[in-house]
């Protein structure tokens, strides 16, 4: 087996799994707001919403304080409450399921497909009961789910379909950008490791005015007007008609979001270039297997995830994780299956064995660094170091045997944008 000896990066550089890219243009956009009249609930919020809805081809956009707030607002808008069940995947950040719980609903976990780690439509069907009100599909790592199947399932069972696209801004499914359908509501996150950032922030988009109006009400304490609108109409009177939250996004953040959105095509191009470079290095590897990608999607590559059967190695993942970090590579694990967290075990009596595909995947996955400003040298260093560490961990008797089938990546179509 060929041995790899990656070059050391200059100095003590640490390559994180993700990070923001802030330009001088971004800084100037924020500074302009700091010198303007409104720092929050001002004109930049509406401008960001308008530009964002145009980009994803949705009728309405509602800016909120983070991706979790967007999920919570979506659950409020579709009327989730006590006694309602919402089907969710286990391989996601806890916020996906937590938003259901915030509204008093019960998350029901449907397992994922083994090659993509996206929610499995066949497993969704088996989880539907008389109490099911919605499905939340998560575009894990930046790859859109099988929305054609999920939409049919939702329509046949009179369910809402929510897309958690916090990993997938700029992704495309069957020629349409994520957020432009077919979900009833699609939510995004603008955390610094995501495709664009507002520091913290989120957005919910929909083609249904009623849902958009409910989410706008919800983000502002359930109050029918905000300070700016009352000031412009010369009134002090307002009414609180629902129990909402303070989930507003400031003008400062929205100015940054507008500037970042203009740079999104470049950010996406850089992420795909990095992914292709990883693919090329890992091609033919029997130890390291990247996730499969569909031919009808445009992958946004929020994460670059590989699978490794650590049970076949001389060391466990914790040891490999520490070794890679010691080499300056900020690997991560996305995610601990939500149903295995203590809160869900205790509150909903979930248990190991509930989602065996996701649980097996969790034991094998590592996320490798990917962010737009990564250099070719950094990508090569990360990929070759991972290979070297894995090869050094193989038992002598396993050197020439298959752990996984050799990796052959499905070619992805280019963007229509």
Catalytic residues: 194
Q: Are 176 and 31 in contact (CB under 8 A)?
A: no
| DSSP letter string, 77-108 | HTT--TT-EEEE-SSS-THHHHHHHHTT-EEE
DSSP 199: S
| Dist CA 326 CA 400 (whole Å) | 28
DSSP 281: H
Q: Are 185 and 204 in contact (CB under 8 A)?
A: yes
With tokens 């399932």, the residue in question is 153
Q: Are 225 and 97 in contact (CB under 8 A)?
A: no
- Token duo for residue 313: 């190695």
Strands of the sheet with 297-298, listed across from one edge: 176-177, 172-173, 297-298
Beta strand pairing call for 297-298 and 172-173: antiparallel
- Token duo for residue 63: 């800016």
| Dist CA 355 CA 357 (whole Å) | 6
Instruction: Give CA separation, 225 vs 36, 201, 389, 401, in Å.
Output: 22, 21, 58, 66
Closest CA to 99 of 164, 152, 148: 164
- Other beta carbons less than 10 A from residue 260's beta carbon: 25
In 165-299 the beta strands, taken as DSSP E runs, fall at 172-173, 176-177, 185-189, 202-206, 289-290, 297-298
| DSSP letter string, 134-172 | EEEEE-GGG----HHHHHHHHHHTT-EEEEE-TT-TT-E
- Other beta carbons less than 10 A from residue 330's beta carbon: 16
């Amino acid at each position: 087996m060929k041995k790899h000896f990656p070059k050391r990066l200059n100095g003590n550089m640490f390559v994180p799994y993700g990070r923001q890219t802030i330009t001088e243009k971004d800084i100037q956009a924020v500074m302009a707001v700091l010198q303007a009249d409104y720092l929050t609930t001002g004109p930049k919020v509406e401008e960001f919403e308008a530009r964002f809805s145009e980009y994803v081809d949705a009728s309405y956009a509602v800016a909120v304080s983070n991706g979790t707030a967007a999920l919570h607002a979506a659950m409020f808008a579709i009327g989730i409450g006590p006694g309602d069940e919402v089907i969710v995947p286990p391989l996601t950040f806890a916020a996906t399921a937590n938003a259901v719980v915030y509204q008093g609903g019960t998350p029901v976990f449907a397992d994922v497909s083994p090659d993509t780690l996206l929610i499995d439509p066949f497993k969704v069907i088996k989880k539907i009961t008389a109490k099911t009100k919605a499905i939340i599909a998560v575009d894990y790592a930046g790859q859109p789910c099988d929305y054609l199947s999920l939409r049919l399932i939702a329509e046949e069972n009179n369910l809402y379909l929510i897309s958690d696209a916090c990993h997938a801004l700029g992704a495309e499914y069957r020629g349409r950008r994520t957020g432009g359908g077919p979900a009833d509501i699609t939510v995004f996150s603008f955390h610094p490791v995501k495709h664009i950032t507002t520091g913290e922030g989120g957005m919910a988009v929909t083609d249904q005015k009623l849902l958009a109006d409910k989410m706008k009400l919800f983000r502002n304490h359930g109050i029918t007007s905000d300070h700016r609108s009352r000031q412009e109409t010369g009134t002090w009177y307002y009414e609180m008609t629902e129990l909402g939250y303070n989930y507003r996004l400031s003008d400062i953040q929205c100015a940054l979001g507008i500037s970042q959105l203009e740079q999104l095509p470049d950010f996406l191009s850089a992420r795909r270039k990095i992914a292709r470079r990883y693919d090329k290095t890992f091609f033919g590897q029997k130890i390291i297997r990247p996730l499969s990608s569909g031919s009808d999607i445009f992958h946004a590559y929020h994460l670059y995830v590989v699978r490794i059967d650590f049970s076949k190695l001389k060391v466990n993942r914790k040891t490999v994780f520490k070794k890679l970090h010691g080499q300056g590579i900020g690997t991560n694990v996305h995610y601990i299956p939500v149903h295995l967290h203590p809160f869900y075990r205790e509150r909903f009596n979930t248990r190991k064995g509930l989602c065996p595909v996701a649980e097996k995947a969790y034991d094998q996955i590592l996320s490798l660094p990917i962010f737009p400003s990564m250099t070719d040298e950094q990508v090569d260093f990360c990929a070759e170091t991972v290979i070297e560490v894995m090869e050094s961990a193989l038992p002598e008797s396993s050197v020439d045997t298959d752990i996984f089938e050799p990796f052959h990546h499905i070619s992805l179509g280019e963007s229509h944008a």
